[in-house]
Structure 1
Amino acid sequence: MRIFSLLSLFLLTGCNLRVLNPKSDTAEKITNLIYLSFGLMMLVFVVVMILFVHFLKKYKETPERLNEIPGDGKESKRLEVTWTVLPILLLAVLAVPTVKATYDMTSQVSGDGGEAEAEDAITIDVVGRQYNWEFTYENGKKSVNELVLPVNQKANFKLTSEDVIHSFWVPKLSGKIDVLPGEETRLSFTPRGAGVYQGKCAEFCGAEHTQMRFETKVVSQTEFQQWLKNGVEEEGE
């Protein structure tokens, strides 16, 4: 079942919403976790299949064994410890980097509730509503269903919802994070490559859920600063 799920994941990466093509520091960590979990899964699968084939051959029915009844096996503390400890070790190998990556995604919030944001990071307020995304930048500029970010600069997001639970997801740039009504959740990542990346709501939120998509444009610092000023300057005039 797990193999089928991963094969489906690889086939789905042919769509625009590619998961295994990271373009940010956070997405790269998530991709590495996928590869790690797949590697562990394949290790377990190979070992189980080797043992399966071995025991098929060892206990294969032959004319000499036709009427043979195997005796009861004796307890083996070594085997019992082995198949108890090994799963724990495998889970630990997967759990440690998973927990670390999860905390890294929200590392801009310190333990005492203060913000530990990078000095050059930008902060964007995100509001999810049926059925669009609104982005508000620090200078007051707003955009709907269009997120523009500077390349190689950390972006901190403060997300909330006006109605139901949504889920903010840009597969090439970040993992999914729930956007809750009346609450603020945090997310951060640093885009590593210029381009246009598709984002969407990954939580069913109503009849037009499939239309709740947005484009993330990662551009140079110069292009970003120019885009940021456009519209705001006109309003000021």
Structure 2
Amino acid sequence: MKKLFPLLTLVLLSGCNLRVLDPASDSAEKITDLIYVSFAIMMLVLAVVFVLFVLFIRKYKERPETSDYIPKEKKENKLLEVTWTVIPFLLLAILAVPTVKATYDITSKMSDLSESEPEEAVVVDVEAKQFRWEFTYENGKTTINELVLPKDQKVTFRLTSTDVIHSFWIPRLAGKMDVRPNKENRLSFVPRVTGTFQGKCAEFCGTGHANMRFETKVVTQEEFESWLATE
């Protein structure tokens, strides 16, 4: 039974739907790339550790002819000490470069909240409440728990809360952004794929937290303009 447990675990995990690994916007693509880079580094470290672990077990396992053997005490090995100190720094530096670049690219879009958006951008005011999302477009159209966006056009969300801290998250379209009372945060991205994507509150906000979900529909420009014009 113990041998079957790892296999059953892998089978169950294989059914997980990891939405963040299936990006549908420019910002989500940057986040996904970072996940892959981090995972590759982690697998490299894991492989080295496991190889060394197996080699040491085989080399130093107790045998009848060596059961009474006591190895001689050795002094420190400066080369090894420097090696296992420098390598983690190098790996962190390799990870830091794309992380800083992606973070700058994503956050630079919202660094100046006073800056007006270009005319072609779609601006949506997002108001989080216990326990629902209200979306208001520039023409005054308001929806509850339903978000419609145009494909291949920049969208900027102006996020506020009427009560507690919430977190706006559409896994396939963008990273999480805190939604706080009495303070406006902004989030921008360009949807690249049409379809329906699940959005949610990623911050526990009370007893109805699980109900703070919404649907995000990405449609063509023509479909979006038609939808926006309807009552």
* 1:50-129 matches, cutoff 5 A: 50-110=51-111, 114-115=114-115, 117-129=117-129
Q: Aligned residue for 2:206?
A: 206
Distance 1:182 1:41 in 2: 40
User: Secondary structure of 2:110's match?
Assistant: coil
Distance 2:45 2:79 in 1: 19
State whether residues 25 and 172 of structure 2, in contact with CA within 8 Å, keep that contact through their aligned partners in structure 1: yes
Q: Aligned residue for 1:235?
A: none
Distance 1:164 1:10 in 2: 36
Amino acid at match of 2:66: R
State whether residues 110 and 187 of structure 2, in contact with CA within 8 Å, keep that contact through their aligned partners in structure 1: no
Matched pairs, number: 223
Distance 1:20 1:7 in 2: 19
Amino acid at match of 2:201: C
Q: Aligned residue for 2:216?
A: 216
User: Secondary structure of 2:20's match?
Assistant: coil
User: Secondary structure of 2:139's match?
Assistant: coil
Q: Does 1:12 align with 2:13?
A: no
Distance 2:73 2:92 in 1: 32
User: Secondary structure of 2:108's match?
Assistant: coil
Shift of 1:63: 2.6
Residue by residue, what CA displacement relative to the aligned partner does 1:44-84 show, whole Å, maximum 9, x if unpaired?
A: 11000111111112212223322111112222221111111
Amino acid at match of 1:80: E
Q: Aligned residue for 1:187?
A: 187
TM-score, length-scaled by structure 1: 0.86
State whether residues 110 and 116 of structure 1, in contact with CA within 8 Å, keep that contact through their aligned partners in structure 2: no
Q: Does 1:160 align with 2:164?
A: no
Distance 1:197 1:57 in 2: 51
Indicate how the Cα distance of structure 1 residues 158 and 12 shifts in structure 2: closer, same or farther if over 3 A, else same.
same
Give 5+ residue unaligned stretches, structure 1: 232-237
Q: Aligned residue for 2:25?
A: 24
Distance 1:50 1:76 in 2: 21
Indicate how the Cα distance of structure 1 residues 24 and 96 shifts in structure 2: closer, same or farther if over 3 A, else same.
same
TM-score, length-scaled by structure 2: 0.88
State whether residues 108 and 116 of structure 1, in contact with CA within 8 Å, keep that contact through their aligned partners in structure 2: no
